[in-house]
Structures are given as C-alpha cells and as structure tokens.
C-alpha cells in the first residue's frame, strides 16, 4: 500500500499538469470555441451591413447607425481575433456563405432602411445579446468570457438604437 500511494499521487499530479498544459496550449472548451467562431462571423457581418447602410440608407440616422456598427464591430472583431489567435482558434477571413447570402439579399431590398433596422438592428442584436449573455455567464475561458461581458453593453446599446429607429420609422408612417 505504501508503494502504491506515491504512484497514485504522481498520476494525479500528472493529470493536473496535463490539463493545465492543455489549457496553456490554447485548448478551449468546445462551447467557448464555438462562441468565438460564431461571434467572429457575426461581427464580420455587422461590419459589412454597416458599410452597406452607410452607402444605401436613405435616412441619415440609419446611415449614422451603420457607421456606428462599422466602428464598434471592427474594434470588437480586432479584439476577438487577438483572443482567438492566442487560443489557437481560426476565425474566418471572409464572410461565411450564409452571412454573404443575407448581405446580398439585404443589398437588393426595395425598402433597405426598414429591412436593415428590422433584421440587422433588432433581430440580429437580440440573438447576439442572448449568445453573449450565455458566454459571459457560462464561459470556461476567462479571456473569452471577459470579451463577452465587455462587448455586451455595446450590443445592448445597438439594440436600443435600432429599436428607437424602428419606432421612429413607424411613427412617420402613421
């Protein structure tokens, strides 16, 4: 029994060291990795639709909101890329097909301002907020979790702006 105890302790210590080494080598929890990948694609989409709004929107406030999306999401994307690189996660360098298809559809919209605010401003930000809240609460990696927490108020501000633009647009049609 006395000979077995040092072996058990050595094995337990080895397992702990291996887990710590794995975390240090950028191995992330699957959900943290998926969050990074999804947030990176979503962030790229926000920048692209923001640029589209800057050029296509008729309403000056919608154009300004597009500019805000470009500025805020570009900064968040840069931060997320840095975290992803440190964690060994590859983020897309181009807009994924699904997002590109949405962007193409939006660019051909007959009522761009309305569709932009409804889908991008309100719907997408509501989904993003849920994802970021979940990561901020349940994330395993402190850097990824911190990014989600830090970015959440910006997303909430975007949603609030979009909802205000939506109300304003509805008020003008009444």
Spatial distance between the Cα atoms of 53 and 62, rounded to a whole number of angstroms = 7
Fold of the CATH domain 29-173: Ferritin (1.20.1260)
Spatial distance between the Cα atoms of 174 and 172, rounded to a whole number of angstroms = 6
List, as own/partner pairs, every contact residues 114-119 make where C-beta atoms lie below 8 angstroms and the sequence separation is at least 24, other chains included.
114/169, 116/49, 116/52, 116/53, 116/57, 116/62, 116/66, 117/62, 117/65, 117/162, 117/165, 117/166, 117/169, 118/166
Q: How much is the pLDDT for 3?
A: 55
Q: How much is the pLDDT for 121?
A: 85
Q: How much is the pLDDT for 120?
A: 87
Dihedral sign for Cα 79, 83, 85, 89, please: negative
Selection from 84, 76, 65 nearest residue 42 by Cα: 76
Give Cα 74 distance to the centre of its chain: 11
Q: How much is the pLDDT for 2?
A: 52
pTM: 0.81
Q: Are 111 and 151 in contact (CB under 8 A)?
A: no
Q: How much is the pLDDT for 168?
A: 87
Q: How much is the pLDDT for 119?
A: 87
Taking only the tens of pLDDT, the chain with its 174 residues reads: 555 444 444 444 444 443 443 344 457 899 999 999 999 999 999 999 999 999 999 999 999 999 999 999 999 999 999 999 999 999 988 999 999 999 999 999 999 999 999 988 899 999 999 999 999 999 999 999 999 999 999 999 999 999 999 998 877 654
Q: How much is the pLDDT for 14?
A: 45
């Amino acid at each position: 029994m006395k000979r077995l105890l040092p072996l058990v302790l050595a094995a337990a210590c080895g397992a702990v060291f291996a887990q710590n080494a794995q975390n240090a080598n950028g191995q992330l929890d699957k959900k943290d990795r998926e969050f990074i990948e999804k947030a990176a694609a979503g962030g790229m989409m926000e920048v692209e639709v923001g640029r589209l709004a800057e050029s296509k929107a008729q309403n000056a406030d919608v154009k300004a909101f597009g500019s805000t999306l470009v500025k805020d999401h570009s900064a968040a994307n840069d931060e997320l890329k840095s975290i992803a690189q440190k964690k060994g996660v590859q983020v897309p360098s181009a807009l994924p097909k699904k997002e590109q298809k949405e962007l193409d559809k939006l660019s051909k919209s007959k009522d761009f301002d309305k569709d932009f605010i409804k889908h991008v401003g309100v719907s997408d930000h509501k989904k993003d907020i849920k994802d970021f809240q979940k990561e901020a609460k349940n994330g395993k990696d402190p850097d990824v979790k911190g990014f989600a927490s830090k970015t959440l108020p910006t997303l909430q501000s975007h949603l609030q702006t979009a909802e205000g633009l939506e109300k304003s647009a509805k008020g003008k049609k009444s």
